Structure 1
Amino acid sequence: MKQQTLIGESGNFLSVLDKVSKLAPIERSVLIIGERGTGKELIAQRLHYLSRRWDQPLVTLNCSTLSEGLIDSELFGHEAGSFTGSKGKHQGRFERAENGTLFLDELATTPLSVQEKLLRVIEYGQYERVGGSQTLNANVRLICATNANLPQLAKQDKFRADLLDRLAFDVIHLPPLRERQEDILLLAEHYAIKMCRELALPLFTGFSHEAITELQSYTWPGNIRELKNVVERAVYQHGTSEAPITALTFDPFTGAWQQDDAQDDSSPQSTDPEFSFPLDYKQWHEETDIRLLTQALKEARHNQRQAADLLGLSYHQLRGMLRKYQLASSTNKHDA
C-alpha cells in the first residue's frame, strides 16, 4: 500500500503528528477518533510505517460495509462448508495481517459478538475461523477508528466497555478542518495543483481574494474530503482561463433555479411576520433576533465579521448578541 502525504502546519495538526510518532513504535492497540473526512486512514498508515512492522502487511477493513455474518468471516476467516455458499477455506484479515497491522475503520458498527472476539485477540492473541475448532495465534497490531462517541455507546451497552478499555491504551483525536484554519489554503492549493496536472492544464492560476475568503470562512462539515471535492470541481470548471479561480460550488446538489427560489423566499416581503394580539413582545423580540442572526450567519457562511457587516453591527456587538442567545458555540470562531 502506497503511503499518502499528510499535509498541514497548524498547531492542532502538528501535535497529532507528534503523538503519532511517539505511539508508532509502541506495540499496543490504538484508537483514532475523528469526524468523517479528517484522514483517519492516513494516520493509521503513518502509525504502521513508523513502527517496527513497517515492512510487513498493512491490511484494512471498513466495518460498516459488511453484515454481522460477513464481518465475522472477513475478520477471522472461515472453513470450507461453514455456511451456505462457502466453497473453500477463507483467510481472514487477521491471518493476512500476520506480523503486520490491521486497521479497522468505523469500529462502532461492529456487532457485539464480533467485539467479543476482537477482545480475545487483543488479550490472548488467539482466534478461530468461522466453522473451525483450531485455535490460531495472531501477531497483529490493531488500529481502530471511529467518528462515534464510544464511551457513550458503552454506557448504553451498545459497545463493549472491556473492549474499549483495551483499545484505549492511548487515543488520537483528529481535529476537524475548521479547527485547522492555517491548513485550509495549504490543502486547497495542493489539491488544485494535483487536479491541474491530472487535466494537463498549463498552470494553476491561484484563487482570487474572494475565493480565499470563502474557503477560509466555510465550516467544512465534510472536512478534507469535502475540501478536495470543492477544489477539484472549481479547477475543472475554471478550465484554461488565465484568471484566478473565483467560482466555488460548495453544494453541487443545488441547481441555480433553487438558489434563486431560496433568495426569493428569504426576501423581506415573504418573511414579514403577521401579528396576532395579545403578543408576548419579549419572546417575539428574542425569536426575531435569533432568526435574524441565524440568517445573517448563513448568508456570510458563518464568518462572524461578515455577518456583523450585513447587520450594520460592530464585530463585538454581534459577538455579544451571539453569547446572549447562546449561538456563539455553533459558529466559526476563526474569522478571515
Structure 2
Amino acid sequence: MQKQDNLIGESEAFLSVLDTASRLASLNRPLLILGERGTGKELIAQRIHYLSKRWDQPLITLNCAALSEGVIDSELFGHEAGAFTGAKGRHQGRFERAEEGTLFLDELATAPLGVQEKLLRVIEYGEYERVGGSKTCQANVRLICATNADLPQLARDGKFRSDLLDRLAFDIIHLPPLRKRQEDILPLAEYYAVRMCREMGYGYFAGFSYDARRALVDYQWPGNIRELKNVVERSVFRHSQEDIPVDDIITDPFTPPWQENTLKKNDSPPPITPPANDAVEPISHTDTDRILPTLPIDFRQWQQQQEISVIQHALKQSQFNQRRAADQLGLSYHQLRGLLRKYQLVGSDPSH
C-alpha cells in the first residue's frame, strides 16, 4: 500500500472519516469527497483505492481545475488522430489508463457541463467515446470525485448537473477542517518537524516550546494540513538550532523581518496543559546558593550535565521504561530517544 503520510490523527472526527472510507472501499460505487482545501482529499481517495479489490490496479488522478474545457475532454476520454489541429496520433485518456482501477477527479466543480454529461454516461452505462471518434469504448473504472465547492448550490444555479450529483452521492465523505481536529494539530506538527529535521541533517527534533505549542493550537489554519506542513517546516528551518525547542511559529513569510512575524494568541485560547513536573519546586532566594553553581563555569557543559542528570533520574524512576520517562519529562518518545542518542545514554540499562 502506498504510504499515506498525512493520515495522522486520533480525533473523533478524523477517525470517523477513516472508518467510513474503509467501509466504502469494498463497494464498487462512485464516491464524493467534500472538504476545504488542504484537508487531504486525495489521501482519502488513495486509502479507498488501496483498501478496495482494485488495489493492485492503476490509481489515476486528474485535477479538473488545471485544464481548459477542450483539454480536459481529451485528457479524460482520449482523442483520435486528427481530432483537432496538432492531434497526430491517438491519445490514451485517463479512463483508458485507469481501466480496472480507480480514477480520482479533484476539483470536480470546475468540470464543464459537457464533460459532466459524459461522466454521467460512464457512470450509468460504462461507455464513452474518444474525442473525434465514433467507436464506443467500455470502461471498468471506479470514479472518486472531490471538491471544496457547494455542489448542491451549484446544481440549483444550473452550474452543475443535478443528475450527476445524484449518482455521485451514494455516500459522501466529509473531511473536517483542521480547526475541528484540534487534538491532531500537535501530532501533525511534530511529524512534519521531525521530517524537516531529518532533511536538515539533525540527529533529533528538540520539540516546540510551550508558547509555540499554544500558538499552533490557537491558529485557525485556513489552509488546513497543507498550510500546517509549510508553516512547521519554515519555522524549523528558520529556527536552525538543533538543541533548542522551536519557539517562533512563522505563518506569513511575506512579512518583512523588521515586522512582527509570529502567531498571535487569541483572546480566549483553548488551554494546553503544560508538561507535568510536580517534582520541580520553585527556587527560593534561600535555596539559591545551594542550587546554583559557583561561577565562572562553562555554561554549555553545565547545562548538558543538568540535562543528563534529569534524564537519568527520570529513567530510574520509570524503571527504565523510556515511554514513561518521556511522559514524566513532558517530552514525546522520539524527543527522549533523540536526547538519549545525543548524550550516548542508550543502552545504559542492561534491559534496553
TM-score bracket relative to the smaller structure: 0.7 to 0.9
How many Å apart are 1:216 and its aligned residue?
0.5
Asked if residue 106 in structure 1 is aligned to residue 107 in structure 2, the reply is yes
Taking only the aligned residue pairs, the percentage that are identical comes to 70
Task: Say if 1:3 and 1:42, in contact at 8 Å, map to a contact too.
Answer: no
Q: Deviations over 1:120-162 (max 9, x none)?
A: 0000000000000000000000000000000000000000000
- Shift in CA distance, 302/74, structure 1 to aligned 2, threshold 3 Å: farther
How many Å apart are 1:257 and its aligned residue?
4.0
Where does residue 162 of structure 1 map in the other structure?
163
The number of residue pairs the alignment matches comes to 269
Bigger Cα Rg: 2
Where does residue 123 of structure 2 map in the other structure?
122
Where does residue 13 of structure 1 map in the other structure?
14
Where does residue 300 of structure 1 map in the other structure?
265
Greater mean alpha carbon deviation, residues 150-159 or residues 196-205 = 196-205
Q: How does 1:82-93 map to 2 (within 5 A)?
A: 82-93=83-94
- Shift in CA distance, 225/243, structure 1 to aligned 2, threshold 3 Å: same
Where does residue 332 of structure 1 map in the other structure?
none
Asked if residue 46 in structure 1 is aligned to residue 47 in structure 2, the reply is yes
Q: Deviations over 1:236-278 (max 9, x none)?
A: 1121341110011111111134549xxxxxxxxxxxxxxxxxx
- Shift in CA distance, 302/81, structure 1 to aligned 2, threshold 3 Å: farther
Q: Distance in 1 between matches of 2:225 and 2:33?
A: 16
How many Å apart are 1:3 and its aligned residue?
3.3
Where does residue 195 of structure 1 map in the other structure?
196
How many Å apart are 1:2 and its aligned residue?
3.4
Where does residue 3 of structure 2 map in the other structure?
3
- Shift in CA distance, 301/256, structure 1 to aligned 2, threshold 3 Å: farther
Asked if residue 178 in structure 1 is aligned to residue 184 in structure 2, the reply is no
How many Å apart are 1:303 and its aligned residue?
4.2
Q: TM-score, normalised by structure 2?
A: 0.74
Q: Distance in 2 between matches of 1:174 and 1:159?
A: 21
Q: Distance in 2 between matches of 1:13 and 1:106?
A: 22
Q: Deviations over 1:48-81 (max 9, x none)?
A: 0000000000000000000000000000000001
Where does residue 69 of structure 1 map in the other structure?
70
Task: Say if 1:218 and 1:302, in contact at 8 Å, map to a contact too.
Answer: no
Q: Deviations over 1:79-115 (max 9, x none)?
A: 0010011111000000000000000000000000000
Task: Say if 2:17 and 2:175, in contact at 8 Å, map to a contact too.
Answer: yes
Where does residue 242 of structure 1 map in the other structure?
243
SS of aligned partner of 1:159: coil
Greater mean alpha carbon deviation, residues 208-217 or residues 251-260 = 251-260
Q: Distance in 1 between matches of 2:257 and 2:239?
A: 17
How many Å apart are 1:235 and its aligned residue?
1.1
Task: Say if 1:235 and 1:245, in contact at 8 Å, map to a contact too.
Answer: yes
- Shift in CA distance, 305/33, structure 1 to aligned 2, threshold 3 Å: closer
Q: Deviations over 1:172-205 (max 9, x none)?
A: 0000000001100000000001111111112100
SS of aligned partner of 1:31: strand
How many Å apart are 1:229 and its aligned residue?
0.5
Where does residue 327 of structure 2 map in the other structure?
none
Task: Say if 1:72 and 1:130, in contact at 8 Å, map to a contact too.
Answer: yes
- Shift in CA distance, 303/228, structure 1 to aligned 2, threshold 3 Å: farther
Task: Say if 2:205 and 2:242, in contact at 8 Å, map to a contact too.
Answer: no
Greater mean alpha carbon deviation, residues 15-24 or residues 231-240 = 231-240
The root-mean-square deviation of aligned C-alpha atoms, in Å, is 1.6
Task: Say if 1:80 and 1:86, in contact at 8 Å, map to a contact too.
Answer: yes
How many Å apart are 1:299 and its aligned residue?
5.3
Asked if residue 22 in structure 1 is aligned to residue 23 in structure 2, the reply is yes
Q: Which has the higher helix share?
A: 1
Greater mean alpha carbon deviation, residues 195-204 or residues 160-169 = 195-204
Q: TM-score, normalised by structure 1?
A: 0.78
In the alignment, structure 1 segments of 5+ residues that lack a partner are 261-297, 307-336
Q: Distance in 1 between matches of 2:160 and 2:231?
A: 35
- Shift in CA distance, 219/302, structure 1 to aligned 2, threshold 3 Å: farther
Q: Distance in 2 between matches of 1:304 and 1:185?
A: 15
Where does residue 332 of structure 2 map in the other structure?
none
Task: Say if 2:202 and 2:242, in contact at 8 Å, map to a contact too.
Answer: no
Q: Distance in 1 between matches of 2:53 and 2:267?
A: 45
